[in-house]
Amino acid sequence: MKLGLAIGYSGAELQIPVDLVQQAERLGFDSVWTAEAYGSDAITPLAYLAAKTERIRLGTAIIQVAARTPAAAAMEVQTVDALAGGGRVVAGLGVSGPQIVEGWYGVPWGKPYYKLRDYITIMKKVFAREEPVTHQGREISLPYEGPGSAHMGKPLKSILHMNPHLPIFLGAGNPSNLRLAGELCDGLLPLGFVPSRMADYRERLEEGFARAGGKKAIGDGFEFQPSVVVNVTDDVRGALRAMKPRVALYVGGMGHPELNFHNQQMVRRGYGEAAVRIQELYLAGRKAEALEEVPDDYCDESALVGPPARIRQRFRAWEDSGITGLTVSTSQPEVVELMADITGASKGATA
């Protein structure tokens, strides 16, 4: 199994855990993943890490498609890939909710499914450099000829000769976007994944594979890489409780009450009553009470916490689920060592 390391986006002060990333690379980790919301961006840290590492893949989990045009996204990821020596960047794409899309990025929410379809298709055309890029989509068209257009747009081909095989992953959890990932993308960053739900994801992806002509499968031309919180500790209950403020924030407040993807995922995992209660309390400003409504089991299902022996035992469910990779979210060097040992990644480690 391929191992990834999640470093996410930074807090109030920009911090990139270079030592942890370099340790992961030495121990055979396959990838490192950044993120963005409305603070630090996902791509600039990868350029920095490209200069601090030698082989580890550099992924975005995810690029906000509202933040930049598809041509700009293609330019940025291909520039970093060239700086990194080629064949190292993974462009993970996704959409946030309308609060961030319209409130921060200042673009219309529109139809996210069609925006993603247009975005991915345009990026692939830019990568390929087969001809000047044109696209007539439901949400995005090139050249642009909508309101305010000078009607002078010219189809163009990238000056930079790009890596035509740079992989595009999609961050997704709902059925339509899972099908889209299977149809158009090279991999999935599954939102809300736990091993017990693999059949649901597989079914939708296979529908997408069929649309693409049945030439892909999980593990054969298509990567399936969820993320998991890992925490080595003797205090399991304390570790689960430490996860709850973030769960309460995302399930309760990260999105509009009528459209919160994280809340929807909690419902899909069978915790509908808790999801409703957490959102009600969080939006009422009763954040401490919202935290208390987060079930221990919900956290435990999506994490590997406890002493090394417990983590090894609970890892088996992830290993046996059919995923091709696993991105570890941690700040502990001992977790990096443990996961490399459990998965056998350290056998290919560099000195």
Residues 6+ apart with CB under 8 A from 98: 109, 256, 259
The strand pair at 135-136 and 141-142 is best described as antiparallel
Separation CA 142–CA 135 (nearest Å): 5
Per residue in 206-232, pLDDT (tens digit) is: 999 999 999 899 999 999 999 999 999
Per residue in 66-75, pLDDT (tens digit) is: 999 999 999 9
Nearest to 42 by CA among 66, 86, 7, 18: 7
Average pLDDT over residues 198-203: 96
pLDDT at 254: 80
Provide long-range contacts, Cβ within 8 A and 24+ apart, for 307-310: 307/232, 307/233, 307/234, 308/232, 308/338, 310/236
Per residue in 164-177, pLDDT (tens digit) is: 999 999 999 999 99
Per residue in 267-280, pLDDT (tens digit) is: 989 999 999 999 99
Give me the phi and psi of 112, to 5 degrees please.
-55, -40
pLDDT at 231: 97
Count CB atoms within 10 A of the CB of residue 76.
21
Average pLDDT over residues 91-107: 94
Res. 135: pLDDT tops 60: yes
Per residue in 147-157, pLDDT (tens digit) is: 999 999 999 99
Calculate what percentage of the chain has a pLDDT beyond 70: 99
pLDDT at 263: 93
Per residue in 8-18, pLDDT (tens digit) is: 999 999 999 99
pLDDT at 6: 98
Per residue in 34-56, pLDDT (tens digit) is: 999 999 999 999 999 999 999 99
Average pLDDT over residues 113-128: 98
Per residue in 239-292, pLDDT (tens digit) is: 999 999 999 999 998 878 888 989 998 998 999 999 999 999 999 999 999 999
Grade residue 350 by pLDDT with cuts at 50, 70 and 90: low
pLDDT at 39: 96
Separation CA 88–CA 52 (nearest Å): 13
Grade residue 80 by pLDDT with cuts at 50, 70 and 90: very high
Separation CA 269–CA 298 (nearest Å): 8
pLDDT at 342: 97
* Sign of the alpha-carbon torsion through 271, 275, 278, 281: negative
Domains defined along the chain, listed by start = 2-231+307-348 (3.20.20.30), 234-304 (no CATH)
Task: Specify the pTM.
Answer: 0.94
DSSP string, 298-316: HHHHTEEEESHHHHHHHHH
Q: Does the bond joining 295 to the residue before it have cis omega, within 30 degrees of 0? A: no
Nearest to 59 by CA among 154, 159, 170: 170
pLDDT at 88: 98
DSSP string, 321-342: TT-SEEEEE-S-HHHHHHHHHH
Average pLDDT over residues 62-91: 98
Mean pLDDT over all residues of the chain? 96
